[in-house]
């Protein structure tokens, strides 16, 4: 029997229920069936996906796609199945909801976002970290209970109250992912040996520096992400116009840094922009090129996240791996 959901705008926590998993699975299958190949992956997220902790009786599902506009085009199809569009609740994410609309209740929140975007990786890390670390999950539960008592009739204030604590959890989750799953491989390239570090699902770092300490160095075949990175780099240095979108990337940084790195991923092969160009796309007239430059310089996945395609207004600008390497990469792409 379907759980009753929650009246819109209110807060009520209930003990974890096994049926939440089944309800999430049904919603994910429905979305996949309705949207077809637009969907890359779906996953059950949020507190209802974490065993043992209380949660609002509303299932959160993430639907990872490559094209948000393609999902918008299916709005009428989704509405026929009582999946109603509620707009862009956070930048870069489309919110769809299911529930009893006559009673103004919600049973499901369906978050549609770009697959493998920073937000997608955060959803994954948050769920997996709290599932693997019961003490962290219990601490988060205590925060939620206190806020629910304080704001039972204000979902907005309840959500705002959790924001700083969630940010701390995400930082811990990224560290946990690296420490528990991180392994590295030495890969030969025309620029010399690079060190790629990955979890089981994502590339975390690419470095021209000496072998990182404390990392398990694995050969081919023992980490599929590193296998794909090695092939990608071989194709790139052979002159093929490969795309970063072919690889699952999860670089760790601040929200601002990751926003800038996302802008780097949008620069086409063989083209360049300036630090000022990026600043203007993020906050016209309110951001300095220097701030962008600092974020670009902190990019932990150079070459693949193409920071070499960003130039100064009056020259090449700097490069974390050395200006000589930047020049070589630009020559490969026919820019110099």
Placement of tokens 């948050």 in the chain: 126
Helix (H) or strand (E) run with residue 184 in it: strand 183-189
Q: End-to-end CA distance of the chain, in Å?
A: 65
Q: Does residue 31 carry a catalytic annotation?
A: no
Residue 306 near residue 244, CB atoms below 8 Å = yes
Angle, CA 72 vertex, CA 202 and CA 4 arms, to 5°? 85
CA distances from 134 to 21, 53, 54, 139, 176 (A): 18, 9, 13, 9, 13
Nearest 10 degrees: Cα torsion 246, 250, 255, 256:
-50
Q: Which of 31, 183, 307, 321 is catalytic?
A: 307
Distance CA 243, CA 257 (A): 20
Those residues with Cβ within 8 angstroms of residue 302's Cβ, 6 or more apart along the chain or in another chain: 206, 208, 308, 319, 320, 321
Query: Which positions ≥6 away from 83 have C-beta within 8 Å?
Result: 30, 31, 34, 96, 97, 98, 110
Active site amino acids: 307
């Amino acid at each position: 029997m379907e759980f009753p959901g929650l009246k819109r705008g209110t807060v009520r926590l209930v003990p974890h229920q096994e049926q939440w998993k089944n309800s999430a699975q049904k919603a994910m299958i429905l979305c996949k069936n309705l949207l077809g190949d637009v969907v890359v992956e779906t996953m059950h997220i949020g507190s209802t996906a974490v065993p043992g902790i209380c949660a609002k009786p509303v299932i959160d599902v993430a639907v990872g796609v490559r094209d948000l506009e393609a999902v918008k085009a299916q709005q009428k199809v989704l509405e026929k199945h009582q999946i109603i569009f509620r707009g862009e609740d956070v930048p870069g994410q489309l919110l769809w909801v299911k529930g009893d609309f006559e009673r103004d209740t919600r049973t499901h929140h369906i978050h549609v976002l770009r697959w493998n975007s920073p937000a997608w990786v955060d959803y994954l890390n948050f769920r997996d970290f709290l599932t693997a670390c019961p003490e962290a999950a219990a601490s988060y539960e205590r925060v939620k209970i206190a806020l629910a008592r304080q704001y039972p009739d204000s979902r907005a204030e309840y959500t705002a109250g959790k924001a700083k604590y969630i940010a701390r959890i995400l930082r811990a989750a990224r560290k946990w992912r690296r420490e528990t799953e991180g392994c590295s491989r030495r890969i030969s390239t025309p620029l010399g040996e690079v060190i790629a570090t990955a979890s089981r699902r994502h590339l975390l770092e690419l470095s021209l520096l000496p072998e990182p300490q404390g990392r398990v160095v694995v050969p081919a075949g023992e980490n599929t992400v590193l296998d794909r990175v090695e092939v990608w780099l071989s194709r790139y240095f052979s002159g093929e116009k490969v795309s970063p979108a072919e690889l699952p990337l999860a670089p760790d940084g601040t929200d601002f840094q990751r926003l800038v790195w996302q802008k780097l991923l949008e620069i086409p092969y063989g083209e360049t922009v300036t630090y000022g160009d990026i600043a203007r796309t993020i906050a016209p007239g309110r951001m300095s090129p220097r701030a962008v430059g600092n974020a670009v310089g902190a990019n932990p996945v150079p070459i693949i996240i193409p920071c070499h395609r960003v130039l100064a207004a009056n020259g090449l600008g700097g490069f974390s791996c050395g200006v000589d390497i930047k020049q070589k990469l630009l020559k490969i792409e026919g820019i110099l």
